[in-house]
Amino acid sequence: MRNQSPLVLVVEDEVLLRLTMIDMLEPSGFEVVAVANAEEAIEILKRRPDVKVVVTDINMPGSMDGLDLIAFVKSKWPRIALIVMSGKSSPNIFEKIPEGGLFFSKPYDVAALVAAIEAAAG
């Protein structure tokens, strides 16, 4: 039987940032699965219909960046909440985030990010 805590999928290519997200979210009552790229994230999403929130970095190696990933997730799993993070910003970044998605600039305010994930997880 799976944990009844809301499941958050973290997609971050930097190992230390992935571990930090796990350390930040688990004590807040979330089950966290963390992966390094969009391809791994999609495999998790196919196997785990209980994912409530995807938190992704924008700049990642592989065939998809974080913006491509959230567009794909929105098209396949529209009920999943989307949170995008980046240390770099561009003027048109908000145009690329699907309706209802949130953006956090790195470095992010931990309490604000946790609150946003709690609200998104319902």
Per-residue pLDDT of the chain (122 residues), as tens digits, is 445 789 999 999 999 999 999 999 999 999 999 999 999 999 999 999 999 999 999 999 889 999 999 999 999 999 999 999 998 766 677 788 888 899 999 888 999 999 999 999 98
Q: Are 29 and 5 in contact (CB under 8 A)?
A: yes
Residue 80 sits in a domain whose CATH number is: 3.40.50.2300
The pLDDT score that the predictor gives to residue 94 is 75
Please tell me the number of Cα atoms within 13 Å of 92 on its side-chain side. Answer: 2
**51-57 and 102-105 beta bridge pairing:** unpaired
Strand partners, 102: 83
In a domain, 33, yes or no: yes
pLDDT at 107: 87
Of 84, 46, 62, 48, the C-alpha closest to 13 is: 62
Residue range of the domain that includes 93: 7-121
Q: Can you point out the beta strands (E) in 20-80? A: 31-35, 51-57
As for how many domains the chain has, the answer is: 1
Q: Model pTM?
A: 0.93
> Do the domain assignments include residue 32?
yes
Q: Has residue 2 been placed in a domain?
A: no
Does some domain include residue 1? Answer: no
